[in-house]
Homo-oligomer: A and B are copies of this chain.
Amino acid sequence: MTEADAASSDEVAVHDANSSFYAALEERDLDAMAEVWEHSDRIVVAHPGWPMLRGWARVAGSWDAIFRNTGYIQFVLTDELVTVVGDSAWVTLDENILQSAAADELSGSKATSVNVFVRDEDDPSRWRMVVHHASPVSAEG
């Protein structure tokens, strides 16, 4: 495999890890979400409008709370860009979100997100999420 092929293969793997994250979120599947993340103290999540939460226990707790309070959630991702630098990578994108607390009241919103991944030390073909930072985009934006 040439260096260019390796770089391209890393980009595909990071893109897949990012897709698995949004799939776990749409399915409100805590086990799938646990597969996506690195389980460490250095990981961070900031949901739209929320303060930053550090470490796997707090990150997992926040997903559990969100999943329990979300009836339906769907993401259309736009303007996605994957950047790989050695053993870390980040994906920047816009999230166009359709969601409901009750199944019959859908509302739309938009967020912009930075997702950081690191290469798994035990399996170099896998990438684990270490940062998910999503922020609300104002309507005038």
Task: Name A's B-contacting residues (CB within 8 A).
Answer: 42, 44, 46, 48-52, 54, 79, 81, 83, 85-88, 90, 92, 94, 112, 114, 116, 118, 130-131, 133-138, 141
CA distance A141 to B118 in the complex (A): 28
Instruction: Summarize A's interface: helix, strand, loop or mixed.
Output: strand
Among residues of B, the one whose C-beta sits closest to the C-beta of A94 is B52
- A selection of 20 A-B contacts at a CB cut-off of 8 Å is A42-B83, A44-B114, A46-B114, A49-B135, A49-B136, A49-B137, A50-B138, A51-B112, A54-B81, A83-B130, A85-B86, A85-B88, A86-B87, A86-B88, A88-B88, A90-B116, A90-B131, A114-B131, A135-B135, A136-B136
Number of copies: 2
Residues from chain B with Cβ under 8 Å of A86 in the complex: 85-88
Report the minimal beta-carbon distance from A105 to chain B, rounded to whole angstroms.
21
